[in-house]
Structure 1
Amino acid sequence: MDITLIVVLVIALALFFDFTNGFHDTANAMATPIATGAMKPKVAVTVAAVLNLVGAFLSTEVAKTVSGGIIREGEGGVLITPEMIFAGLIGAVVWNMFTWLRGLPSSSSHALFGGLIGAALVGAGLGSVDFGVVLSKVVLPALLAPLIAGVVGYTATRLAYTITRRRDDKSERGGFRYGQIFTSSLVALAHGTNDAQKTMGVITLTLIAGGLLTPDSGPPFWVVVVCAFAIALGTYTGGWRIIQTMGGGLTEVKPTQGFAAEASTTATVLASSHLGFALSTTQVASGSIIGAGLGRRGAKIQWGTAGKIVVAWFITLPASAAVGAVAAFVASLGTAGLVIDALVGAAVIAGIFLISRRKPHDQGSAIEVDVAATSVLSRRRARRAERKGRVDTPAAGVESTFVRMDDPPEPAASRGGSTTDGEAR
């Protein structure tokens, strides 16, 4: 197959991965403000899309880590071919779609790295991967970043409740809710500076492998532009399944917790982007939410859900590597192998999408329709409307986690007590 055609196919698949990265990781920025009612879902994903687009232009350090760090370079260039990169991307996309179906906020970044590593090991041998870079830039940040973000989230939450303990009125809670708009926007911006860069790095690596760029080249401007728009478009579609898990599946999120978690996530991701660490914003956001949940007295963490997420973290790299390795083996058969990879990959992706249409996520059968169409109708508004005879009682199972959590806490005076927002329940 002509090298130019292969490069075009790889770029197209890379942009599709960028798109899946966008809707898979929308929850990193917008799950908590949607859960607390700080932002309506459609507004939230629109803001996230725009800021992901802007963030993609702010840094290319992570892109350089992907294009010139993980895969070794030899005398003739990188020790990987466009066919192997195509196979690695299939592993990443398939894993992203599978975890999206399950509502698991796994790492799109690790799916990408796993797919590339698996394909490179099969296609080019053990020496093609720089495991020192993988350890320092991928594995160690994956282990440390969620812990650091969790500690920061816990500390920020405790500090926020301590400062506002004697001023727990509706306006104070409203202040944190409005603050979430700012912090969640920063998370979306930070996500663009880190995750969009990974697809830029893959496309740059493809161009180098195809002989269209010299080794050590950074991403051309047109690559930055198309990757920025691809991840922004994916973000705008909204990954409602994962948004639900992040917004309510780990812990009931109050505005103060959401504010603290988002601030923690932003600081961690921006620092990592500056240092060139290919960090998983999903892991950071999950760690921040858990830490913020632990910081509110009386809050309950759904450790079962948290355990499933952690398991997904650990198996993402090897699982996507295995798929990438199999795809690379098939691709080694030549043009026929590439065609088989493309057809099988497309069939798997289409099958997952069809399953998602027939079997809605079990944490709320009408979550996608409920979120997109009603923009989180709160229970209080529903009760008022029902008393006035304007709406029927919602069907059983239709009310989503977000409907429950959108109902703001009543002022302490109306409950006959003076407890703080953090200790109210």
Structure 2
Amino acid sequence: MITTLLVVVIVLAIAFDYINGFHDAANSIATIVSTKVLTPFMAVLWAAIFNFAAYFYFTDHKVANTIAKTVIEEYITLEVIFAGLVAAISWNLFTWYYGIPSSSSHTLIGGFAGSGMAYALFLGANPIEAINVNATLKIISFIVLAPVIGMTISIIITLIIINICRNARPRVAEKWFKILQLISSAGLSFAHGGNDAQKVMGIIFVAMIAGGAVEATSDMPEWIPLSCYAAISLGTMSGGWKIVKTMGTKITKVTPLEGVSAETAGAITLGITEHFGIPASTTHTITGSIIGVGVVKRVSAVRWGVTISLLWAWVLTIPVSAVLGGLTLMVIHYFL
């Protein structure tokens, strides 16, 4: 049965996916814009194409399943999902406005978990009982692990490239790396679409189950992944220029060689996490990768003050979103 609230929740979820696209567009295009390989418009168009192309490859929906299991089923209602989405959208827009590259993934998870915990309180239960602790801890651990893995891989790739190309003429090498950056940015956009679109797919499918529109044992309707990949691609085309500036220039100055290393490292890391069904943050991953290429030059090449500010945003995202989710559910419960 399709209710008005279910329709509202689905629309909000797709809107969040769109916002995720333009909020996280910087992850895919920051280095390729800062190295002037592509113009900003061509860069977002390039990224959007490969965001959507992921629809044809990532068909196992492992990340979507993890997101769907963040809150225990008996504590999931349409109101809980609605409150979580409102919280996630609010924090995403706030961080986008101030140019803070926070994690859309963790925003969504925090909002959903916070509203689920608030609902458990209303039922007189322990809020922790509403959370799938194992799934949540796995997600939280990758706040640290995703950027560390991305940084490690980018350092290794950069060192390999430097050694292979140490005798190459600088002008010829730069020309080739600008071409290669088209490939590496496409790979990162492909992995970004495959990882991030699935997060909203999981939320919509859970909403359909909670609203009685489908059975829990049913396969996910095909329109859900199609609409999610389309929404994130359109969002990416809308850009996110404030965050592009932060990612592309404020952390460290990036050359085409370093852009190839960072983007390739980010794509590999996201591919690994998607394989294991872990909803890792694209933002955290590419930030760690950019730091890695900066460290190879010299530790002082990384603007650590900016990096520490980003770390605070990462740490605060889940708890702030959870509080917003809980408060939104309280407003719904008591006033609507």
SS of the aligned residue for 1:167 comes to coil
Higher helix fraction (1 or 2): 2
Shift of 1:71: 1.7
1:84 aligns with 2:80: yes
Instruction: Say if 2:135 is the partner of 1:133.
Output: yes
2:91 corresponds, among 82, 92, 95, to: 95
Query: What do the CA deviations read for 1:284-307 (whole angstroms, capped 9, x no partner)?
Result: 000000001111258611111111
1:149-164 aligned within 5 A? 149-164=150-165
Say whether the 8 Å CA contact 1:153–1:261 is kept in structure 2.
Answer: yes
Give the one of 114, 121, 136 matched to 2:117.
Answer: 121
- Residues 251-260 or 298-307, more deviating: 298-307
Which residue matches 2:223?
Answer: 222
Q: TM-score of the superposition, structure 2-length normalised?
A: 0.94
Q: Distance in 2 between matches of 1:276 and 1:246?
A: 26
Q: Quote how far apart the aligned CAs of 1:46 are.
A: 0.4
Q: Note the 1:342-421 alignment, pairs <5 A.
A: none
| Mapping for residues 12-411 of structure 1, pairs under 5 Å | 12-59=11-58, 60-67=61-68, 69-73=69-73, 78-125=74-121, 126=127, 127-136=129-138, 138-297=139-298, 300-333=301-334, 337=336
Once residues 156 and 53 of structure 1 are traced to their aligned partners in structure 2, the CA distance between those partners, rounded to angstroms, is: 27
Q: Which structure exhibits the higher relative contact order, with contacts defined as CA atoms closer than 8 Å and separated by 6 or more residues?
A: 2
Q: Deviations over 1:306-331 (max 9, x none)?
A: 11111000000000111111001111
**Does the 8 Å CA contact 2:174/2:257 hold for their aligned counterparts?**
yes
Instruction: Give RMSD over aligned pairs.
Output: 1.5
- CA change 1:89–1:57 in 2 (3 A) is farther
Percent of matched pairs sharing the same residue: 39
**AA matched with 1:106:** S
1:217 is displaced (CA, Å) by 4.1
**1:95-130 C-alpha deviation (Å, 9 max, x unpaired):** 001111111110000000000011000013422211
- SS state at 1:251 partner: coil
C-alpha separation in 2, matches of 1:218 and 1:25: 29
Matched to 1:180, the amino acid is Q
**Residue pair 1:57, 1:224 contacting (<8 A) in 2 also:** no
The amino acid that maps onto 2:319 is P
Tell me the distance in 2 between the aligned counterparts of 1:9 and 1:297.
50
Is the CA contact (8 Å cut-off) linking 2:180 and 2:260 kept in structure 1? yes
Alpha-carbon contact 1:191-1:281 (below 8 Å) kept: yes
Deviations 1:31-65 (A, max 9, x none): 00111011111111001111111213432111111
Cα distance in 1 between the residues matched to 2:191 and 2:284: 14
In the alignment, the residues of structure 2 paired with residue 250 and residue 216 of structure 1 have an alpha-carbon distance, to the nearest angstrom, of 46
- Describe the SS at the equivalent of 1:103: coil
In structure 1, give the amino acid aligned to 2:48: A
Whole-angstrom CA distance in 1 between matches of 2:116 and 2:2: 18
Q: Residues 100 and 313 of structure 2 are in contact (CA less than 8 Å); yes or no, is this contact kept in structure 1? A: yes
Is the Cα–Cα contact under 8 Å of residues 75 and 119 in structure 2 kept in the other structure? no
The number of residues matched between the two structures is 328
The letter for the 1-side match of 2:115 is A
SS at match of 2:49: helix
1:117 & 1:47 partners in 2: Cα distance? 34
Question: Corresponding residue for 2:124?
Answer: none
Aligned amino acid, residue 36 of structure 1: T
Mean Cα displacement is larger for which, 161-170 or 240-249? 161-170
Following superposition, the deviation at residue 164 of structure 1 comes to 1.4
Kept after mapping to 2: 8 A contact 1:152/1:264: yes
1:246-305 residue CA offsets vs partner (Å, 9 max, x unmatched): 000100001111100001000000111111101101000000000011112586111111
Task: Tell me which amino acid in the other structure corresponds to 2:169.
Answer: D
Q: Output the CA distance in 2 between the equivalents of 1:304 and 1:289.
A: 15
Paired residues of 2:2 and 2:213 also in contact (CA < 8 A): no
In structure 2, do the counterparts of structure 1 residues 50 and 315 end up closer, same or farther at CA, with 3 Å as the change threshold? same
> Does structure 2 retain, via aligned residues, the 8 Å contact 1:57–1:228?
no
In 2 relative to 1, CA 57–123 (structure 1 residues): closer, same or farther, beyond 3 Å? farther
User: What secondary structure is seen at the aligned counterpart in 1 of 2:233?
Assistant: helix
Partners of 2:289 and 2:194 lie apart in 1 by 19
The aligned amino acid for 1:29 is S
**Aligned to 2:301, what secondary structure does the other structure show?**
coil
Structure-1 separation of matches of 2:236 and 2:97: 16
SS in 1 for 2:242: helix
Classify the secondary structure of the residue corresponding to 2:212: coil
Return the offset for 1:216: 4.6
Q: Distance in 2 between matches of 1:262 and 1:228?
A: 21
Distance in 2, Cα, partners of 1:157 & 1:313:
26
Tell me the SS of whatever aligns to 1:56: helix
Deviation at 1:163, TM superposition (A): 1.8
Taking a change above 3 Å as real, the CA distance of residues 185 and 299 of structure 1, as seen in their structure-2 partners, is farther
